[in-house]
Structure 1
């Protein structure tokens, strides 16, 4: 692995743990045992580093999601597993990470927002639409609106650190998004 990628990975870990604003380029170089000059050889500044970190983060997310899709059979299970993956991730990241990203790094936040919308309104909505065509998802459900509500719920979780830590991601999923998913399954499928 090259040094640039190591810097991105280590920076991501620091940002997820402490937030982006408080972690300085000095902190990153010290944590990695490299000079600040070496850090600036690879990144013109913190803004460029944050952009690269967000792009790398979503490369990881999309890789994990594609593995979930390949390993899972039913449409509902794929959606549940993707949400479970997202909740597991959100539970390990400080909410300050998302707050700092949105407030101080607007270009990086645009990249972040575009990618999470690809997941919700691309991948998940496509599975919902596919389920409607196959008859497993109730055809009266407005899949776009369904996705919009879940995006709002995830935003609330991120913004207010609203994930109860006494429960697993699976418990949270089963008692929130899972309830919604069970509610949209076509009645004929529920009887099987």
Structure 2
């Protein structure tokens, strides 16, 4: 990787960090230039507009999360434990308690949001379909589940958890919301064996 390519990647990575911690709306190109100790003109030689940079930074974050989820799935954990491990990984890397990045991306950059949301649906759908089938095979989930419907309901609900109009951060703790939804989801699909696994996981995590 040459120096220009390295700088290009560094700008994307730093922008992604700032957007996640402060929000897409509030971070300016001047803020990014100051953080990186480079000129704004240098940034504009790599990205013609802030929207262009938002798109690249969002894709960078998406790919980072997707790679992590793929690595977790490769471990073939218990299906219920897998849901908790993936949830931990996603929220540790997004750190979105204050800025609510997904909600801001939808509000201020809808075209970028909708493109990424389609890719997110495909990734989540594949992950949850596999998780449900494994859970049924292990008799942790009910055998009569409408798998395709449950997978789509799961995506719909985790997407809705980010909606600041329904769950504003100043009122609802994002961590508590996510754990409440996981409990809700698993109890709705689990067998008695699955409920016992869930109970043990929650005890270990002090939930």
What TM-score do you get using the length of structure 2 for normalisation?
A: 0.75
User: 8 Å contact 1:80–1:178 — kept in the other structure?
Assistant: no
Which range is displaced more, 90-99 or 18-27?
90-99
Partner residue, 1:13: 17
Task: Establish whether residue 46 from structure 1 lines up as the match of residue 46 from structure 2.
Answer: no
Q: 1 or 2 for the larger relative contact order (CA 8 Å, sep ≥6)?
A: 1
Partner of 1:94: 98
Of 59, 68, 73, which aligns to 2:77? Answer: 73
In the TM superposition, what is the alpha-carbon distance from 1:95 to its structure 2 partner?
4.3
Gap regions ≥5 residues in structure 1: none
1:83 equivalenced with 2:87 (yes/no): yes
State which of 182, 186, 204 in structure 2 corresponds to 1:181: 186
Structure 1 SS opposite 2:38: coil
Structure 2 unpaired stretches of 5+: 198-207
Partner of residue 63, structure 1: 67
**1:28-39 matched pairs, under 5 angstroms:** 28-39=32-43
Would the alpha carbon gap of residues 109 and 190 (structure 1) be closer, same or farther in structure 2, given more than 3 Å must change? closer
Q: Shift in Å at residue 42 of structure 1?
A: 1.2
Structure 1 counterpart SS, 2:25: coil
Give the TM-score of the pair, scaled to structure 1.
Answer: 0.80
1:121 alignment partner in structure 2: 125
Q: How many residues align?
A: 189
C-alpha distance after superposition, 1:49-106 (max 9, x if no partner): 1111111101110121122123342222222322232344455353442233112222
Report the counterpart of residue 27 of structure 1 in structure 2: 31
Secondary structure of the residue that 1:176 maps to in structure 2?
helix
Q: Which residue does 2:204 correspond to in 1? A: none
Equivalent residue, structure 1, for 2:203: none
The answer to whether the 8 Å contact 2:22/2:98 transfers is yes
* RMSD over aligned Cα atoms: 2.8
